[in-house]
Chain A
């Protein structure tokens, strides 16, 4: 089995996790910039984080034979402070040329505030100006439906965003359909508690859409499972889906989206 982990926060994970993922068939990992679990006090903290994502983490992944890519932004949880957010955003263009940077992400909303929305719109604009792919984080739990609608509106009202170059992540049963119906890609995040289980994810693939969708573990510093994607693959196989169908979902779909950035190289792993 081969798969791509299109959303993993590897700076939070151990080398044991890299080893397990490599053994499970992980052919590439993409790491969006996110919240560290605490607020960074200055733009310098983000500068260091962007260096970690573009220079240091790829070396750690390479020790396990896994190509590592990243996405850059200031995440919505730290976007309430507009001054800091704008300072951080000014740092991003100098990193966009790094060989492993795929685009702007994970941007989006957290508590659906006016300030978060302003910074989301600024990020969308930055991505369009620099011809970058966009990866969007949708809010958690009871905030997800409202946030997803505000995000879709912001993307559509920009006017120059190509929906097929945007992935809206963390969709669940109540938001998946509207995301893909508008032409965006959708990400299903497999979390032990707060998002989708492998079983629910496969239900959604069977009943809503298996196209323009990827599966990810979003493994990070919280309760999460770096092997969630291969576990969803196992669930598909248990239900009788063919090896080819599983490969399409966990390898070819993410490859199709990510290949819109020329820097993403087909890992070339044979199925």
Chain B
């Protein structure tokens, strides 16, 4: 099936316009992430696989292209194919526990 995205509005939007609209929000989220990583660093105990998973995605932010979100979501996804024999838990943690 052919997909129809909204419009060509992106191509008429300038980088400055996007920054005017969303820069402060993105800046604030980056600082929140930095603060979170500092907080983790100050804490005691063994490393947490979720934090490792989060950190392993950071280099993907610096790659070019327009698919960063999808790339990161794929990176965090369970790569297995077959159904699990049973559920060990009902919840998902946000990153696949097997990420190296």
- B52 part of interface (Cβ distance < 8 Å): no
CB contacts (< 8 Å) of A150 on chain B: these are 83
A206 partner, pick from B5, B25, B90, beta carbons under 8 A: B5
- B84 part of interface (Cβ distance < 8 Å): yes
A180-221 residues with Cβ-Cβ distance < 8 A to B are: 180-183, 194, 199-200, 203, 205-212
- A146 part of interface (Cβ distance < 8 Å): yes
Chain B residue with minimal CB distance to A200? B69
CB contacts (< 8 Å) of B69 on chain A: these are 172-174, 200, 203
A210, B7: Cα distance in complex, Å: 9
CB contacts (< 8 Å) of B94 on chain A: these are 141-142, 194
Interface bin, chain A: 35 or more
CB contacts (< 8 Å) of A111 on chain B: these are 84, 87-90, 92
- B9 part of interface (Cβ distance < 8 Å): yes
B90 partner, pick from A77, A117, A182, A194, beta carbons under 8 A: A77
For chains A and B in complex, what number of residue pairs have CB atoms within 8 angstroms?
Answer: 113
Mask of A7-42 contacts with B, CB within 8 angstroms, 1/0: 000000000000000000000000000000000000
CB contacts (< 8 Å) of A223 on chain B: these are none
A206-B9, A210-B6, A241-B9 are known contacts. Are A143 and B86 too (CB-CB below 8 A)? no
User: CB distance A117 to B83 under 8 Å?
Assistant: yes
- A231 part of interface (Cβ distance < 8 Å): no
- A80 part of interface (Cβ distance < 8 Å): yes
B11-56 residues with Cβ-Cβ distance < 8 A to A are: 13, 21-22, 25
A110 partner, pick from B22, B76, B87, beta carbons under 8 A: B87
User: CB distance B21 to A113 under 8 Å?
Assistant: no
A113-B85, A114-B83, A117-B83 are known contacts. Are A209 and B4 too (CB-CB below 8 A)? yes
Mask of A133-167 contacts with B, CB within 8 angstroms, 1/0: 00000011111111001100000000000000000
Distance from A257 Cβ to chain B, minimum over Cβ atoms (Å): 15
- B61 part of interface (Cβ distance < 8 Å): no
A80-B87, A112-B84 are known contacts. Are A177 and B3 too (CB-CB below 8 A)? yes
CB contacts (< 8 Å) of B77 on chain A: these are 142, 144-146, 174
- A115 part of interface (Cβ distance < 8 Å): yes
Mask of B69-81 contacts with A, CB within 8 angstroms, 1/0: 1100110111111
CB contacts (< 8 Å) of B13 on chain A: these are 239-240
User: CB distance B10 to A146 under 8 Å?
Assistant: no
User: CB distance B76 to A210 under 8 Å?
Assistant: no
Distance from B56 Cβ to chain A, minimum over Cβ atoms (Å): 13
User: CB distance B1 to A141 under 8 Å?
Assistant: no
CB contacts (< 8 Å) of B9 on chain A: these are 206, 239-241
User: CB distance A172 to B90 under 8 Å?
Assistant: no
Distance from B86 Cβ to chain A, minimum over Cβ atoms (Å): 6
Q: A113-B84, A114-B85 are in contact. List 6 more A-B contacts (CB 8 A).
A: A141-B94, A142-B94, A174-B70, A174-B73, A238-B21, A239-B13
Which residues in B have some Cβ–Cβ distance to A below 8 Å?
1, 3-7, 9-10, 13, 21-22, 25, 66-67, 69-70, 73-74, 76-81, 83-96
Provide 18 A-B residue pairs closer than 8 Å at the C-beta atoms, listed in order of the A residue.
Answer: A110-B90, A111-B87, A113-B87, A141-B76, A143-B92, A146-B81, A172-B73, A174-B74, A199-B25, A200-B69, A203-B69, A208-B3, A209-B3, A211-B3, A211-B4, A212-B1, A240-B13, A241-B6
